[in-house]
């Protein structure tokens, strides 16, 4: 029925088991309801960080559970929000003296399920705050109240807040920092081929060989526009321009995330990274940190997103702070 290599029944469950088996020293698996917790979080943490969302965007979020990032993550079915009970139980399992901060990508289902979990946690006397990640510039002008979608900036928020939480920051301060990081982050994505539909098989939407979906979402929502595909350097130039226009002051430099949407090769992603870096150089925008890889995909979609975060004092240190999770790269030479 489809070309994804997934078991016929309970694909997410099987996969999560294989994930926990592969990373047993970093994460612990909890079943019914399904969630993962960090085995060895930083002892100084006073506020727990919990996230979650639909599956198919892996390694987000479970891949970032561990030392220096999330305390727990709740994976939903493919492209569907986790159930509120998953979020509730995950939060109960990891809550600390200052409570729990929920990191939520801006989709209705996620907002509602995290919201209900928060209601229940508060009823239990657990303090809860939420950071809503809404970085996708392509959904900026929707005439609706749904607002911008949450995409690549989720990773930036999880890393920076993770490091901050490890210093013992309280719930309010963390929530404020999270809001600030979100406000300073914008993303844009393009696709040359839709992801494989996990239910029907085949491409979730179809594009001709010479077409490009500009401003695509991470669930196969079609983009803001279907355009004739320009050369790669024209695409990256336009995306860089729009991102910088959408961002507040970048005087202290930016963090650059070049993210694959699933079926995009490192060869392509590093080429995109080079071209975007050249664009930023032309505009004299300093790049304080860079990350290139497939971190927030839309199953196996062929395409990429660019996220820029306008840096504020202290954020770079948090971004570079030590981390041990299944998926966040730790590539710096040991000192």
Partner 1 sequence: MTTIDQDRVVRTYAQASHTAHDALTALDQISGDGDFGDNLREGLDRTVAALDAADGASATEVAGSVFLDEVGGTSGPLIGLLFSEIGRALAGTADDRAGWTDGVRSGLAAIQRVGEAEPGDRTLVDALVPALAALEGDDSWTGVAEAALSGAAATAGTRARRGRASYVGERAVGNPDPGATGVALLFWALARVAEPDSGLGDIEELVPVPTDRDRAG
Ligand X SMILES: Nc1ncnc2c1ncn2[C@@H]1O[C@H](COP(=O)(O)OP(=O)(O)O)[C@@H](O)[C@H]1O
Applying the rule CB under 8 A, the residues between 294 and 323 that interact with a copy of itself are 294, 297, 299-300, 302-304, 322
Residue 28 lies near a copy of itself (rule: CB under 8 A): no
- Order of strands across the sheet with 225-228? 225-228, 211-214, 185-193, 302-310, 254-260, 287-293
Q: Restricting to residues 133-192, name those near a copy of itself by CB under 8 A.
A: 192
- Whole-angstrom Cα distance, residue 134 to residue 139? 9
Burial code of 142-157, b = ≥16 C-beta within 10 A, e = fewer? eeeeeebbbbbbbbbb
Q: Report the C-alpha gap between 162 and 51 in whole angstroms.
A: 12
Q: Does 115 sit near ligand X (CB under 6 A)?
A: no
Q: Which residues are CB-neighbours of 281 under 8 A, at least 6 positions away?
A: none
Interacting positions 101-140 with a copy of itself (CB under 8 A)? none
* Cα 204 from Cα 193, distance rounded (Å): 9
The candidate with the shortest Cα–Cα distance to 195, out of 221, 167, 165, 220, is: 220
Which among 11-19, 77-85, 153-161, 304-312 is the span making contact with partner 1, rule CB under 8 A? 77-85
Best CA proximity match to 93, nearest among 162, 45, 177, 36: 36
312 binds partner 1 (CB under 8 A): no
- Asked if residue 108 binds ligand X (CB under 6 A), the reply is yes
Distance between CA atoms of residues 217 and 215, nearest Å = 7
144 contact, one of partner 1, a copy of itself, ligand X, none, CB 5-8 Å limit per kind: partner 1
Binder among 14, 25, 146, 278 for partner 1 (CB under 8 A): 146
The answer for residues whose C-beta is within 8 angstroms of residue 245's C-beta and 6 or more apart is: none
Chain residues 205-224 in contact with ligand X, contact rule CB under 6 A: none
Contact flag: residue 237 with a copy of itself (CB under 8 A): no
226 in contact with a copy of itself (CB under 8 A): no
Out of ligand X, partner 1, a copy of itself, none, what residue 240 binds, judged by CB under 5 to 8 A for its kind, is: none
Q: Establish whether 102 is a catalytic residue.
A: no
Q: Taking the complex as a whole, how short is the minimal distance between the CB of residue 248 and partner 1, in angstroms?
A: 25
Interface region with a copy of itself, contact rule CB under 8 A, candidates 89-97, 109-117, 240-248, 259-267: 259-267
Q: How far is the CB of 77 from ligand X (least distance, A)?
A: 11
| Number of residues engaging partner 1 in binding (CB under 8 A) | 22
CA proximity to 133, closest of 166, 76, 181: 181
Size of the site for ligand X (CB under 6 A): 2
Element spanning 258, H or E: strand 254-260
**Interaction residues for partner 1, span 205-234 (CB under 8 A):** 221
CA distance 79 to 324: 26
Residue 32 near a copy of itself by CB under 8 A:
no
Binding status of residue 283 toward a copy of itself by CB under 8 A: no
Residue 142 is a catalytic residue? no
The single residue among 3, 142, 200, 234 that binds partner 1, judged by CB under 8 A, is 142
Choose, by CB under 6 A, the member of 109, 115, 168, 288 that binds ligand X: 109
User: With respect to partner 1, which residue has the nearer C-beta, 113 or 294?
Assistant: 113
What distance in Å separates the CA atoms of residue 222 and residue 139, rounded to the nearest whole number? 11
Strand partners, 212: 227
CA angle, residues 61, 62, 63, in degrees to nearest 5? 90
Interface ranges with partner 1 (CB under 8 A): 77, 80-81, 83-85, 108-109, 111-113, 115-116, 118-120, 142-146, 221
Residues acting as catalytic residues: 57, 219
Task: Provide the binding-site residues for ligand X, judged by CB under 6 A.
Answer: 108-109
């Amino acid at each position: 029925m489809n070309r994804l290599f997934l078991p016929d029944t309970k694909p997410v469950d099987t996969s999560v088991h294989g994930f926990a088996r592969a990373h047993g020293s970093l994460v612990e698996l909890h079943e019914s309801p399904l969630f993962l917790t960090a085995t060895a979080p930083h002892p100084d943490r006073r506020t727990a960080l919990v996230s979650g969302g639909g599956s198919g965007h892996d390694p987000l979020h479970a891949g970032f559970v561990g030392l220096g990032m999330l305390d727990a993550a709740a994976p939903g079915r493919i492209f569907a929000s986790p159930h509120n009970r998953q979020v509730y139980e995950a939060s109960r399992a990891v809550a600390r003296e200052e409570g729990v901060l929920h990191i939520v990508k801006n989709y209705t289902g996620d907002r509602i399920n995290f919201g209900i979990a928060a209601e229940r946690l508060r009823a239990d006397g657990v303090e809860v705050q939420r950071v809503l990640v809404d970085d996708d510039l392509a959904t900026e002008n929707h005439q609706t109240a749904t607002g911008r979608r949450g995409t690549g900036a989720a990773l930036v928020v999880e890393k920076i807040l993770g490091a901050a939480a490890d210093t013992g920051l309280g719930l309010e301060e963390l929530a404020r920092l999270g809001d600030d990081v979100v406000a300073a982050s914008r993303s844009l994505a393009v696709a040359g081929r839709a992801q494989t539909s996990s239910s029907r098989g085949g491409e979730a939407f179809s594009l001709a060989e010479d077409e490009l979906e500009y401003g695509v979402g991470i669930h196969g929502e079609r983009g803001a526009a279907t355009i004739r595909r320009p050369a790669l350097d024209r695409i990256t130039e336009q995306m860089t321009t729009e991102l910088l226009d959408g961002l507040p002051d970048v005087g202290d430099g930016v963090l650059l995330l070049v993210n694959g949407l699933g079926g995009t090769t490192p060869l392509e992603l590093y080429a995109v990274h080079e071209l975007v870096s050249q664009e930023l150089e032309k505009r004299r925008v300093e790049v304080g940190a860079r990350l290139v890889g497939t971190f927030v995909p839309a199953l196996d979609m062929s395409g990429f997103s660019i996220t820029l975060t306008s840096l504020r004092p202290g954020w770079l240190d948090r971004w570079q702070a030590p981390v041990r999770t299944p998926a966040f790269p730790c590539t710096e030479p040991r000192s």
